[in-house]
Amino acid sequence: MNDRMKVWWGLDDGNVVGARRFCTHVGAVLIVHLAFATLLAQAQRHEGSFGTMKLSPIAKRLQELVGEGAKTPA
């Protein structure tokens, strides 16, 4: 993740001067990463097989819990 922040978001360009501005820039980048991760986690996925990988018992239970959470009204 450090490389992604440096290369894609330009945190090591030297364009941001001052500790306060740098910390604000890093915080904004982290918030955007969190927002995109949340959106991608909620996005509809293609139902199908991507290979012969088997889910562990923990992953199966998490998948069941996520399915139950989607069925309950908010």
Alpha carbon 28 to its chain's center: 14
Q: Is the pLDDT of residue 68 over 80?
A: no
Does residue 3 contact residue 9 with C-beta atoms inside 8 Å? no
Q: Is the pLDDT of residue 73 over 60?
A: no
Q: Is the pLDDT of residue 72 over 60?
A: no
CA distances from 27 to 11, 16, 24, 36, 52 (A): 11, 13, 5, 14, 39
Angle at 46 between CA 62 and CA 65, to 5 degrees: 15
Cα separation, 22 vs 40, in Å, equals: 27
Query: For 21-49, what is each residue's pLDDT tens digit?
Result: 888 888 888 898 889 888 888 877 766 65
Band (51; pLDDT cuts 50, 70, 90): low
